[in-house]
Amino acid sequence: MGRPRRIVLIRHGESQGNSDDTIYERVPDHALELTEKGLRQATEAGMRLRELFGDERVQAFVSPYRRTWHTFRALGLDPRLTQAREEPRLREQDWGNWQDIEDIHRQRKARDAYGHFFYRFAMGESGADVHDRVGSFLETLYRAFDKDDFPPNVLLVTHGLTMRLFCMRWFHWTVQEFEALSNPDNAETRVLVLGASGSYSLDRPFERWCTPGLPGGGDI
């Protein structure tokens, strides 16, 4: 098949951590589940995706977190047409082990001031680390495109920051362009669509919370 016609990225539905950040003190990030609202969001997103994919085959790559797998299952894609595999490189930015709520708030505020790409959580990752592992995943994806029977659709079930960094890596955005973008909402999608020229474009841009600064300076 070669290059897929579309690459769909979807953020997981609302999780327990999105509705109550104190839960990080007692439940590991990777074990957080969807809320009832998150399950509804994923189910509604599945209706749109089933219409988009039609009767075409789909290769899905799913972050190993519980909320992403629950999101994938709630999409209700046809199992006869969909093959799914776990992909650890699409996981959330690691914060590192158990969290203290006051420390979470302090580090979030520090990250906003320092920059989401370069700031490194005390026991976890920086956005740059996620960018690097997303780049490694892309190498795997490119090799898969060479298979004659590769499906016309790719689905990545992942996280908001990871979605932005995937697109940054794919479209060669600068750090300042990345920093100007907001995360998509829960269960929101972005689609890379293959054009007649052989290159991909986004079906719609990410929302911006500010204007990118000039290279080497300016506001972020």
> What does DSSP say about strands 189-194 and 200-202: parallel, antiparallel, or unpaired?
antiparallel
14 a catalytic residue = no
12 a catalytic residue = yes
CA-closest candidate to residue 7, choices 67, 74, 61, 80: 61
| Alpha-carbon dihedral sign for residues 68, 72, 74, 75 | positive
E strands, the chain, are 6-11, 58-62, 82-86, 153-158, 189-194, 200-202
Identify the active-site residue in 12, 70, 116, 159: 12
Identify the active-site residue in 14, 87, 92, 188: 92
Distance CA 13, CA 95 (A): 20
Beta bridge partners of 112: none
Tokens 């298979």 sit on residue: 147
Query: Which secondary structure element, helix H or strand E, spans residue 177, and what is its range?
Result: helix 175-179
Q: Which residues are catalytic?
A: 12, 92
